[in-house]
């Protein structure tokens, strides 16, 4: 029996993107717009103009799916581009005054869609932590050792982000490329990002796994191999631990829009 993988309403999402995000310059700015449309108490997205076009019963789910889609785009954005986008957003938020980059990472958690899983949340907070530190470093005189540690952590993050797969990507390889020991790079990575390199790499793997499961017909064995796993069972174990469900269950779960439609009929 063939499996039917639930898909979002792509046509509705594109209409919502054009209607709601037509003037936003970056995925980060788009996240801020979408988060502002979410009712904090009920966690429901509201947009009267879009509701007139798509229907009030559909707009909440479509905006939720769009939020998840833009969040994925942000997580795959290179660190250098993320840094520029955050800088621009902070400048707009400060009404033309010099952007303040010393805000805590948790003050940006409202940008995360409710559907985001733990690996995605880990990547968002880790990337943003480094971006904010890089912006703050532009306005201050860091000690040479601190600046070097931050720079090396940023390079390691970027190497993981731009890698098409994680085959052969190890802390030893990265440390050798940066001219430091693996122990040193592992220590400064954890100090600067708040997470170990191993956990960051695993979160990146699981994020890519989730993307492949949602958007491709690849069998689990092929997904595991793409991510550098020689044993499918190890991949399935890591996935279940990260997402709290099996990879097959994740692939078959409905989109946010479909969940809302089902609940409205109950």
If pLDDT is split at 50, 70 and 90, which confidence band does 141 have?
A: low
The conformation of residue 76, written as its DSSP 8-state character, comes to T
pLDDT in tens, 170-211: 889 888 888 889 999 999 999 999 999 999 999 999 999 999
HSE-up (13 A, CA, CB side) for residue 236: 12
If pLDDT is split at 50, 70 and 90, which confidence band does 117 have?
A: very high
- Assigned token pair, 95: 């009404």
What local confidence, expressed as pLDDT, does residue 164 receive? 59
CA distance 240 to 48: 39
If pLDDT is split at 50, 70 and 90, which confidence band does 75 have?
A: very high
Residue 5, pLDDT above cutoff 70: no
Instruction: Give percent of the chain above pLDDT 70.
Output: 83
If pLDDT is split at 50, 70 and 90, which confidence band does 258 have?
A: very low
Residue 145, pLDDT above cutoff 90: no
Residue 234, pLDDT above cutoff 70: yes
Q: What is the CA radius of gyration of the chain?
A: 20
Query: Which CATH code for domain 10-265?
Result: 1.10.10.60
State the CB neighbour count (10 A cutoff) for residue 181: 13
The conformation of residue 106, written as its DSSP 8-state character, comes to G
CA 231 to chain centre: 26
User: Which of 9-13, 94-98, 115-119 is least confident?
Assistant: 94-98
User: Which of 13-17, 32-36, 105-109, 161-165 is least confident?
Assistant: 161-165
DSSP string covering 193-253: HSS-HHHHHHHHHHHHHHHHHHH----HHHHHHHTT-S-HHHHHHHHHHHHSS-HHHHHHS
CA distance 219 to 213: 9
CA distance 238 to 232: 10
- Assigned token pair, 145: 């050792």
Residue 84, pLDDT above cutoff 90: yes
The verdict on pTM exceeding 0.75 is: yes
The conformation of residue 111, written as its DSSP 8-state character, comes to G
- Assigned token pair, 25: 């310059």
The residue written with tokens 């490329």 in the block is 177
**Residue 259 or residue 208, greater confidence:** 208
Residue 212, pLDDT above cutoff 70: yes
């Amino acid at each position: 029996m063939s499996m039917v993988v639930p898909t979002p309403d792509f046509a509705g999402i594109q209409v919502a993107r054009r209607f709601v995000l037509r003037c936003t310059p970056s995925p980060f700015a788009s996240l801020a717009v979408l988060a502002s449309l979410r009712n904090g108490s009920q966690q429901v997205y509201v947009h009267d103009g879009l509701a007139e076009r798509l229907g009030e019963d559909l707009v909440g789910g479509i905006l939720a799916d769009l939020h998840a889609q833009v969040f994925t785009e942000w997580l795959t954005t290179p660190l250098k581009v993320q840094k520029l986008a955050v800088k621009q957003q902070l400048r707009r938020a400060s009404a033309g005054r010099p952007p303040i980059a010393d805000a805590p990472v948790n003050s940006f958690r409202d940008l995360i869609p409710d559907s985001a899983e733990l690996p995605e949340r880990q990547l968002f907070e880790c990337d943003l932590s480094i971006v904010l530190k890089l912006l703050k470093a532009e306005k201050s005189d860091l000690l040479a050792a601190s600046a070097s540690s931050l720079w090396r952590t940023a390079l390691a993050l970027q190497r993981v982000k731009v890698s098409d797969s994680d085959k052969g990507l190890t802390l030893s390889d990265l440390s050798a490329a940066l001219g430091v020991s693996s122990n040193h790079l592992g220590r400064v990575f954890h100090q600067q990002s708040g997470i170990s390199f191993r956990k960051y790499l695993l979160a990146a793997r699981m994020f890519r796994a989730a993307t492949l499961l949602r958007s491709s017909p690849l069998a689990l064995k092929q997904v595991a191999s793409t991510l550098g796993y020689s044993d499918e069972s190890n991949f399935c174990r890591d996935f279940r631990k990260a997402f709290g469900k099996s990879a097959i269950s994740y692939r078959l779960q409905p989109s946010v829009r479909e969940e809302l439609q089902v609940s409205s009929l109950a």
